[in-house]
Amino acid sequence: LAEHYKHHWFPEKPFKGSGYRCIRINHKMDPIISKAASQIGLSLPQLYQLLPSELTLWVDPYEVSYRIGEDGSICVLYEATGTKPASSYGMLTCKNQLMLGRTSPSKNYIMTVS
């Protein structure tokens, strides 16, 4: 991911380039996930067994968030503490824009990482 995001990573503006860094599985595997899985010996069928059929992952410099399903809640998987630039707080991010347009109630899902 570091190599893939090299020219799309802006710690001083964490949400710049966030569309490029959005990883999406929507009944079709994201190519970056397929590539990483093949490098560690996982097949595509194994990936589909391990991951939800609908998963969105936002990878930003100070936060990694995910949503399972189209109407799932957005959850923070990783958040750096005390390192975000003050200008990044309260910004209208890609995922926040999705939340604003939501018409159905959130569903709760749990994602575990081992």
Domain spans of the chain, in order of start: 1-113
d(C-alpha 52, C-alpha 49), whole Å: 8
5-25 pLDDT per residue, tens: 778 887 888 777 777 789 999
Kind plus residue range of the DSSP H or E element containing 93 = none
Specify whether the CB–CB gap between 21 and 58 falls below 8 A.
Answer: yes
Considering the domain 1-113 in this protein, what is its CATH number? 3.90.640.90
Residue 18 is predicted with a pLDDT of: 75
The predicted model scores a pTM of: 0.64
18-75 pLDDT per residue, tens: 777 899 999 899 999 999 999 999 999 999 999 999 999 999 988 999 999 989 999 9
Specify whether the CB–CB gap between 24 and 56 falls below 8 A.
Answer: yes
